[in-house]
Amino acid sequence: MKGSDIVESRAEARQVFLQHLAQAGWNVEGWDAVRDTGARVDLDAEAEYVGPTLALRLELLAEQPYVAFGTYQLDGELVMRLRLYSKANLASVLAQIIAVQDTLNADNHPQLVKSLIALCDQLQIETEDGIFNLS
């Protein structure tokens, strides 16, 4: 992939990320305004959603081929943090997360993880002991 194709692909991914999550009620933030000031930012975009039992956070990382997905107890305690290397369609990964955003809890999150495996080239979990492949 040529450098210009990568930039276009990142811009397209950012647009899909912000549009889909904003429409689903997530608090989204793009980093274009900060980047325009010349500051170096590690995120292209981030989004947060507070559901009835968990807070969800997605990060579209600059210069990384994955989307970081974290779930947290409402008091801020981490439940899980994943690295989602989506296949060709980021929108389908986001749709899967959006579909369970109001019902996801500490007991049923393994079902979400299983459903995301089919949509990702690679799925990793970050733990205190390291990063492990789930697919």
The tens place of each residue's pLDDT in the chain, 135 residues long, gives 433 334 448 788 889 999 999 999 999 976 555 445 555 556 788 899 999 999 999 999 877 889 999 999 999 999 999 999 987 789 999 999 999 999 999 899 999 999 999 999 999 999 999 999 998
Bridge partners of 47, per DSSP, are 28, 58
Task: Count H helices and E strands in the chain, helices first.
Answer: 4, 7
Contact 52, 97 (CB under 8 A): no
Look at the block and give the residue holding tokens 């933030």. 29
Structural domain total, the chain:
1
pLDDT at 55: 96
Element (H, E) at 81: strand 78-86
Give the residue numbers spanning the domain of 14.
Answer: 3-133
pLDDT at 69: 97
pLDDT at 5: 38
